[in-house]
Amino acid sequence: MNPTTAKPGQSVTLTLRNCKNPSQGGRAEGAVMGKGATARSPIEATDLKPGPKGTLVGTATISSGARPGKADINFACASKPDAVVTVSNTVRSATRTSVTPSTSRRRRRHAISRRSTDQLPLVIPRQAAVRAVPVDRYPLADCLRVL
């Protein structure tokens, strides 16, 4: 596998040598992620095709869910599928970059107690005017009308 250390989402080149009949191809795949699961990590099943000088080659992408640390990839020639070669590689953690403007300032939060909310003034926007209408003459919906 090249590179031998990769992070999730990165493409890697897989190479298998010494197959008896490379024209038949081969396969590379990561370990099954759990009981009853079909997903594999760090790579999904990948077909290997004949390459230069009798090798089998393929390209795979490190799974986004691959955990950092050592991970095994199993290789097999189609001409001898029972002979599995396991290669360990290293999955790096995905680096997350966060941009924080240098001019940002934390806003202060003021706690408002229930007692202090009783004393807050009612604020009506300038564009709105409130007109009181006698309740006994009109339906409730018409009692206060914002103009």
| CATH code of the domain covering residue 32 | 2.60.40.10
Q: Does residue 121 form part of some domain?
A: no
The pTM of this model reads 0.61
Range of the domain at 69: 5-91
Say what the pLDDT of residue 7 is: 93
Q: What are phi and psi of 53, to 5 degrees?
A: 55, 40
Q: What are phi and psi of 116, to 5 degrees?
A: -75, -25
Q: Locate 130 and state its tokens.
A: 């409130």
Say what the pLDDT of residue 99 is: 43
Q: How many CA atoms lie within 13 A of 20 on its CB side?
A: 7
Express as a percent the part of the chain with pLDDT over 90: 46
Q: Does residue 27 form part of some domain?
A: yes
Q: Does residue 145 form part of some domain?
A: no
**Domains of the chain: total:** 1
Q: Which residues of the chain have pLDDT under 70?
A: 95-147
47, 58 Cβ separation under 8 angstroms: yes
Say what the pLDDT of residue 105 is: 45
Q: Does residue 141 form part of some domain?
A: no
